[in-house]
Structure 1
Amino acid sequence: MGKIGIFLSLLLFSHSSFAQSVQVEGYFTQDSAKLGERVGFVLKARYPESSQVIFPDSTYDLSPLVLLEKKTFISQTQDGETLDSAIYYLSNFSLDPSVYLSLPVYELSRYDSITYFSNEAELKLKLTLDSIPEQPVFQENNVYQPIEKNFNWLLAALIIGGIVLLLGGFALLFAKRIKALFKRNREKIRWLQFERKWKKLTGLLAQNPALELADEVVGLWKGYMESITDLPFQEWTSSEISEALDDKEIFKALRSMDMIIYAGKEAKSEEATNYLLGIAKIKYQEKLNHIRNERATR
């Protein structure tokens, strides 16, 4: 019984030490702010020098607060302990008396990441009103103001009808151009969203070649390619994709990602992910050219 108690004590002590390996602190630079006022939120993390920690970026959901700017500082290391800090400049547009914020930091490990949240900080809403005089003073005005009693419904109907006819003619005349412009803008927005998420995921994968990240990167690429080509990329294997696009280098790139996903082997993914991004960009440009040519031939 004594040996079991000692073992459990050591286990609890090691777990406590691991849980405290990253210490996170967060607080507002002021306790209250007016509606829409710029206010800073300080996020600090202390962790062992051997650990790798990242802070949330502009894609993190801070609602109801709005991120205006993020300012980072150079890490400071002393006696094997590193201190990282950043200031998030925010604005509050909520009418609640108080808003609360707790931000995470992520400790990257070999195959996974651990999330640590800061303490919950409170920001109170500061409401200010100009003073109201005890006796309101009204400006005297005894000039008669004539009021038009009859509304000209016929004239209003003619004006509204003319506007409707004008808009209808405009829509018929430029319908093809408007439709093509809408399609191009939709593809541009879809590309920007894909590229932003791709760079974020591949950056994490380069730092931590984990199978979950590699699988998410490949799934993101196949999903985007399927959306702009109408081909079943999600169902195809790497060799089938290479044959469909007539590009052997795609097979090599996808094969290196499969080695991480299915074989659990670490590999340098930057070359493969850069090549896959280039293929996606080529198909995106082809899609824009197809929309342009489709409008010209109609």
Structure 2
Amino acid sequence: MSFSALAQNVQVEGYFTQDSAKLGERVGFVLKARYPENTQVVFPDSTYDFSPLVLLEKKTFISSTSEGTTLDSTIYFVSNFSLEPSIYLSLPVYELSRYDSITYFSTEAELKLKLVLDSIPEQPVFQENNVYQPIEKTFNWLLAGLITAGVIVLLGGLVLLFAKRIKGFFKKNREKLRWLQFERKWRKLTALLAQNPALELADEVVGLWKGYLESITDLPFQEWTSSEISEALNDKEIFKALRAIDMIIYAGKEAKTEEATNYLLEVAKTKYQEKLNQIRHERATR
């Protein structure tokens, strides 16, 4: 079971490389962790939810160890598209133990929104023109008002009639696109894991799977252990599949993962189909 903790074995520091940024500007967020050299620590990857920021790139650096203490650091390059005056970001670092993991969060770092306006002259300058312009006095304002009101009512009716259907259509296509992106990345990572059962690959595969299921079910898969996930989904085979990959992460043992990853992909596909059915049901009942 994962849980958050204040600075104990691992000291975490996070800060932006600048205090303010324009809308959409690329900004660096530095995440550092100091911990005993015999401790195993993992930083968040691209599956982590950085909202309202958008992750552009992750840059890691070689660890350095001195007098029994290791220093790790990573820069996450992000962009802000929120119109809030200030946004705050705190990122976790995971300490891996034999059965569980401990989560340490950095303190919240503030990034202010920098608004840029063109200069405005102090005194407005008007062009002189003393030629009188003829005014059309026969314009029927009443008729124009009635026509405008009729158009507004018609457009409002169309919006009320079709807005929810259009929203459902885009929601369905968004889920299909998200599934295709997940499946493509999943097959690539699991193929690499089958060839080289390394700890970092195994951790990324599990994180990708948990992140996708969390996005379509709104359940805290990232925080749950393998046994909690299996119990929540009422499927003991999920525990066996995750445990096969956990043996690489926590025990450092090589394992044949094809059967486990294929089963996890089928579970994700089933949840994806359930999500599509839910969207269809919502559209049909509106």
With structure 2 as the length reference, what TM-score do the two structures score?
A: 0.54
**% same residue:** 52
Equivalents in 2 of 1:70, 1:29: separation in Å?
A: 15
1:200 equivalent to 2:203? Answer no
> Cα gap change, 1:218/1:37 in structure 2, threshold over 3 Å: closer, same or farther?
same
CA distance in 1, matches of 2:171, 2:87: 40
Deviation of 1:62 after TM superposition, in Å, equals 3.6
How much does 1:41 deviate?
1.1
- Structure 2: 5+ residue runs without aligned partners? 1-5, 187-203, 212-223, 245-250, 275-286
Specify the alignment match of 1:42 in structure 2: 30
Helix, strand or coil for the counterpart of 1:106? strand
1:42 CA drift (Å): 1.0
Cα RMSD after superposing both structures? 5.1
The secondary structure found in structure 2 opposite 1:95 is: coil
Given that 1:201 and 1:217 are in contact with CA atoms closer than 8 Å, whether structure 2 keeps it comes out as no
The CA deviation at 1:132 is: 2.6
What is the CA distance between 1:89 and its match in structure 2? 2.2
TM-score for both structures, normalised by structure 1: 0.52
5+ residue gaps, structure 1, are: 1-17, 205-211, 223-233, 239-252, 261-265, 288-298
Instruction: Measure how far apart 1:203 and its partner are.
Output: 8.4
Q: Letter of the aligned partner of 2:56 in structure 1? A: E
More contact order relative to length (CA 8 Å, sep ≥ 6): 2
In 2, the alpha carbon distance for the partners of 1:30 and 1:259 equals 42
| Residues 282, 107 of structure 1: alpha-carbon distance in 2 compared, 3 angstrom cutoff | closer
After superposition, the Cα gap between the structure-2 partners of 1:270 and 1:134, relative to the gap in structure 1 and judged at 3 Å, is same
Give the aligned partner of residue 58 of structure 2: 71
Give the whole-Å Cα distance in 2 for the aligned partners of 1:145 and 1:185.
Answer: 55
Aligned partners of 2:226 and 2:243 also within 8 Å: no
Matched, 1:130 2:118: yes
1:182, distance to aligned residue in structure 2 (A): 8.3
Larger radius of gyration: 1
Aligned counterpart for 1:215 among listed residues 194, 204, 227: 227
CA contact (8 A) 2:34 2:70 kept: yes
**Count of residue pairs brought into register by the alignment:** 222
Aligned pair partner of 2:109 in 91, 97, 121: 121
Moved more, 274-283 or 19-28: 274-283
Work out the CA distance in 2 between the residues paired with 1:186 and 1:130: 37
2:136 corresponds to 1:149: no
